Amino acid sequence: MKSFNHCRFVRAGGKVTKMIMWQGEVENVAVKTDKPLPAEHVAVALDTATFDQYVGDYELGPGFVLTISREGDKFIGQATGQPKIEIFPSTPTEFFIKVVDAQLSIQKDASGKVIGLVLHQGGQNIPAKKIK
């Protein structure tokens, strides 16, 4: 199979300053940065009783639901039409996903009842109301 994707590194003053990538006819430019890479997520221990209060369905959009469940000691997320993926706690109310760059933040009301979550992915923060 032949691919028409290719890239070119641009130098200025002897240093790489950006990369230009072509995907077919589409050109994307990525400017080099000296910012440090984000810290790797670290999973913490979370008891299943705490997690079980998060189990349910969360509506990300019309007809698009994220189901949070537990299979044994594993915490699972599954969006409509997508495979199940394991989610990992970074705090008692924050979770991350290893297979994609995404995080979940559990939302509670003043009484401590779980009312929703926020999906952080691709620079977006998508709120989801707990519907079940």
Residue 125 CA neighbour count, 13 Å, CB half = 6
Q: CA-to-CA distance for 30 and 20, rounded, in angstroms? A: 6
pLDDT the model gives residue 2: 65
pTM of the model: 0.72
Question: What digits encode the pLDDT tens for the residues 56-90?
Answer: 999 999 999 999 999 998 999 999 999 999 999 99
Assess contact for 30 and 19: CB atoms under 8 A. yes
Residues of the chain with CATH 2.40.128.50: 48-130
Please check the confidence at residue 122 and state whether its pLDDT lies above 90.
no
Question: What digits encode the pLDDT tens for the residues 45-56?
Answer: 998 899 999 999
Please, what CATH class does the domain formed by 48-130 belong to? mainly beta
DSSP 52: H
CB atoms within 10 A of CB 59: 17
